Amino acid sequence: MKTFHNDIFDSGLSVISAAAAATTLRLVLCSQAPLTLADASTLYDGAANKYRLSDAIAVASGDVSIGDKAGGGREVTVAAKAGTAGATLAAGSDLHYALYADTRLLYVSDETSDQAITSGNPINFPSFTFGMGDPV
Residue 47 belongs to a domain:
yes
* Bigger pLDDT: 47 vs 2: 47
Place 106 in a pLDDT band, splitting at 50, 70 and 90. very high
How many domains, in total, are found in the chain? 1
The residue type found at 86 is G
Residue 66 belongs to a domain:
yes
pLDDT in tens, 109-118: 999 999 999 9
8-22, 78-92, 112-126: range with lowest mean pLDDT:
8-22
- 112: Cα separation from own chain's centroid: 14
Q: Is 42 helix (H, G, I), strand (E, B) or coil?
A: coil
Taking 70 as the threshold, does the pLDDT of residue 3 lie above it?
Answer: no
Residue 136 belongs to a domain:
no
29-38, 46-55, 80-89, 111-120: range with lowest mean pLDDT:
46-55
Residue 135 belongs to a domain:
no
Say what the pLDDT of residue 4 is: 73
For residue 51, which of 31, 37, 29, 35 has the smallest C-alpha distance?
31
Residue 134 belongs to a domain:
no
Taking 60 as the threshold, does the pLDDT of residue 1 lie above it?
Answer: no
Say what the pLDDT of residue 48 is: 84
Q: CA-to-CA distance for 78 and 48, rounded, in angstroms? A: 30
What's the rounded mean pLDDT across residues 37-51? 90
Q: Are 100 and 58 in contact (CB under 8 A)?
A: no
Q: CA-to-CA distance for 129 and 24, rounded, in angstroms? A: 19
Q: What is the pTM of this model?
A: 0.92
What's the angle, vertex CA 44, arms to CA 39 and CA 46, rounded to 5?
Answer: 85
Work out the number of other CB atoms within 10 angstroms of the CB of residue 12: 12
